[in-house]
Structure 1
Amino acid sequence: MAREYDTVLVRKGTYKEVNILIDKPLVLKGENYPVIDGELKGEIITITADNVTVDGLFIINVGTSYTVDYAAVRVIKSENFLIQNLVLEKLFFGIYLEKARNGRVYHNNIIGDAEEEYNSGNGIQLWYSNNIEIDQNIITHVRDGIYLEFSDDCTITNNRSSENLRYGLHFMFSNNDLYSHNTFEDNGAGVAVMFSKGIKMYENTFKNNWGAAAYGMLLKEINDSEIKGNTFQQNTVGINIEGSNRVTYSSNDFIGNGWAIKFRGACYTNNFKENNFLYNSFDLSYNSKLNDNKFEGNFWSSYTGYDLDKDGVGDIPYRPVKLFSYVVNRTPEAIILLRSLFVDIIDFSEKVSPVFTPDNLLDIRPRMKQIVHDRN
């Protein structure tokens, strides 16, 4: 019965509904969080019109399927939409944007119960969706917290994505996106950015992403991007990099990781400046004799050089790649020797006369004191 641009108020209560179609501009607003129960039968709300707002609903029991990606809320080919203040539980996919644009996903709480990747979906998924703002959402216990595929010019800010099976945030073939001030904690792995360019990654926290194949962030085939002001703390690997070029890493903190940065190969013309490397087991792992990446003005907690002219910069360059990290790359079982005197001796010998590590991979201006970064 609603006309275009009406507001439909949903009173508090439980409504057993599935396949609700919104095909005209309107506001669907819940009062005191009414429950929309899909009874595990399929998709619950589908939006096909422009200028639609869905606000303040508690949506549960999305259907599960191996052939159809059922979602609590799906937006198809729409723009100027607002999805906000939802609580989603017992879901397959949470909020699914399909060929949508110029919309906002704001302040939603998405709580899955995923146990296996093959029969679980993502919290917020974008597919061929451009200029989307994803802000202040909490996402937990799904497959990927936030997933973007072929989605450009999006901003992802102030979200918390934790305890997800695979990634807290996952990019594929998406360009010129920004994600900042997010927290990715206790996920299978923190963030994967793959086959994309022009990505800006500012002031995020990547924490406690532990496991045999875990990392704070994976970069694969990423070009012309910027990673600035982030904190990588207590991850197996802070950043795992493969085939990524012309990326600037500045003002980041790497604290207590197994490896702060692990180069997997084919990484050229990257610039690392004014980062803090604090108490990582290995600051850098590098698997090639060739290097044209630049390190300058970083602080390394394991630097033992001197500063006779008192300008705050070490008088001798610092070599961040230890011979033992080279050994562990090839023989992982050797990690058991990490704290032994033998390791100290071989690392010292490599520092004096590099044989296995690139002789030009060094920080020519290492800082003597930890760099204080101004976080917004």
Structure 2
Amino acid sequence: VVNNAGVGIGAEGTSITHGNSSNNIISYNVIAKNCDGIDIWDLIDSTISFNQVYSNQQYGITADSCLNLSILNNTIHNHAYGGVLVSDSSNCTISGNELYSNQAGVMLDGTIGVNYEGSTHNVVTHNNIHGNDVGIYWESRCVNNYFTYNNFVDNSENAYFWTSLEIGDPDFPLHRPCQNIWNRNYWSDWTTSIPKPIQGMVTVWLSSFYIDLPWFAFDKHPAMGPYGNFTLDNTAKPDYFMEKERLSFFCPHSPIGRDIKP
């Protein structure tokens, strides 16, 4: 799927949907004003690259149950929920993307259940993630993922995580929350070379009740300056990617109606 303008079109309010196949390429498209921009599932060895994805109602790109997916060099902004959502997917690479003005820049999650492996062995690297509510957010069943060489600049919260554990779980209390690797990212809110703490929350289930505990992961070697020539000034986008008028979205899955005006 190459060189298309998917503005306000698409199946069930999504501009591009694709699933249950391999070796797909989705590149050089302009995708805006849908419910979700690109919605894919069960893809293997596929690439999403060099797309402009903006002002869709919920997510820019969603990937569910994918393997060896590459999300590369896209510009993704102005989404109410998230720029990129990766669920129950493994060995995926998210790299070289510009992510801003989303509720979350990149989100990883995994379904809790014996038939799900969660999101594992994914690499999030060399992205510019700025001006989001949360830069990166991950939650339960996301382990052995790598977050490296990213620029986190002026997000309300640069990174956050949530996971849960049960008493009697062999992973309790330390193993699972600390199993993702953070290394050599640049953080606009951290100016020393000592490890950068990344705050999250662990819900500990104790039989019939639970306790929420603050928890921390660490970027062991935070970068002292941004990568590349990154500044907020040189990431400005053309006016047609920053539309000022109120947009009307067709979103059939929304609980509050089909015609949504943000």
Aligned to 2:133: 258
> Structure 1 length normalisation: TM-score?
0.50
Aligned to 1:340: none
Displacement after TM superposition at 1:208 (Å): 0.7
What is the CA–CA distance in structure 2 between the aligned matches of 1:287 and 1:253, rounded to whole Å? 23
What is the CA–CA distance in structure 2 between the aligned matches of 1:250 and 1:237, rounded to whole Å? 16
Query: One-letter code of the match for 1:180?
Result: S
SS of the counterpart of 2:218? coil
Aligned to 1:337: none
Compared CA separation, residues 248 and 152, structure 1 to 2 (3 A): same
What is the CA–CA distance in structure 1 between the aligned matches of 2:220 and 2:91, rounded to whole Å? 24
Runs of 5+ consecutive residues of structure 2 not aligned to the other structure? 111-118, 164-173, 204-212, 231-262
Aligned to 2:148: 273
Displacement after TM superposition at 1:304 (Å): 3.3
Q: Matched residue pairs, number?
A: 197
**2:199 corresponds to which of 294, 305, 321:** 321
Query: One-letter code of the match for 1:242?
Result: D
Displacement after TM superposition at 1:237 (Å): 1.0
What is the CA–CA distance in structure 2 between the aligned matches of 1:291 and 1:371, rounded to whole Å? 25
Following TM superposition, the consecutive aligned residue runs of length 4 or more in structure 1 with deviations greater than 2 angstroms are: none
> 1:363 aligned to 2:241?
no
Query: One-letter code of the match for 1:368?
Result: M
Query: Which structure's relative contact order is higher, taking Cα pairs within 8 Å and 6+ residues apart?
Result: 2
What is the CA–CA distance in structure 2 between the aligned matches of 1:181 and 1:373, rounded to whole Å? 19
Bigger mean CA offset, 289-298 vs 193-202: 289-298
**2:86 corresponds to which of 219, 222, 230:** 219
Asked if structure 2 preserves the Cα contact closer than 8 Å seen for 1:283 and 1:321, the reply is no
Aligned to 2:67: 197
What is the CA–CA distance in structure 2 between the aligned matches of 1:154 and 1:304, rounded to whole Å? 41
Asked if structure 2 preserves the Cα contact closer than 8 Å seen for 1:251 and 1:373, the reply is no
Asked if structure 2 preserves the Cα contact closer than 8 Å seen for 1:231 and 1:254, the reply is yes
Aligned to 1:303: 190
Query: One-letter code of the match for 2:198?
Result: P
SS of the counterpart of 1:150? strand
Asked if structure 2 preserves the Cα contact closer than 8 Å seen for 1:229 and 1:373, the reply is no
Asked if structure 2 preserves the Cα contact closer than 8 Å seen for 1:182 and 1:205, the reply is yes
Displacement after TM superposition at 1:151 (Å): 2.2
Q: Which has the larger radius of gyration?
A: 1
What is the CA–CA distance in structure 2 between the aligned matches of 1:367 and 1:304, rounded to whole Å? 9
What is the CA–CA distance in structure 2 between the aligned matches of 1:251 and 1:191, rounded to whole Å? 18
SS of the counterpart of 1:151? strand
Aligned to 1:247: 122
> 1:233 aligned to 2:100?
yes
Query: One-letter code of the match for 1:293?
Result: N
Runs of 5+ consecutive residues of structure 1 not aligned to the other structure? 1-133, 306-313, 330-354
> 1:147 aligned to 2:5?
no
> Structure 2 length normalisation: TM-score?
0.71
What is the CA–CA distance in structure 2 between the aligned matches of 1:287 and 1:373, rounded to whole Å? 32
**2:181 corresponds to which of 278, 294, 297:** 294
Asked if structure 2 preserves the Cα contact closer than 8 Å seen for 1:224 and 1:245, the reply is yes
- The structure with the largest strand share of the pair is 2
Displacement after TM superposition at 1:321 (Å): 2.0
Aligned to 1:169: 38
What is the CA–CA distance in structure 2 between the aligned matches of 1:251 and 1:321, rounded to whole Å? 22
Listed one character per residue, the Cα deviations across residues 174-227 of structure 1 (whole Å, up to 9, x for unaligned) are 1111011101100022111001111011101111112xxx11011110101111
> 1:186 aligned to 2:55?
yes
Aligned to 1:137: 4
Asked if structure 1 preserves the Cα contact closer than 8 Å seen for 2:70 and 2:94, the reply is yes
Compared CA separation, residues 191 and 206, structure 1 to 2 (3 A): same
Asked if structure 1 preserves the Cα contact closer than 8 Å seen for 2:98 and 2:127, the reply is yes
Asked if structure 2 preserves the Cα contact closer than 8 Å seen for 1:198 and 1:224, the reply is yes
Query: One-letter code of the match for 2:146?
Result: N
Within a 5 Å distance, the mapping from 1:76-115 to structure 2 comes to: none
Query: One-letter code of the match for 2:43?
Result: S
Query: One-letter code of the match for 2:39?
Result: H
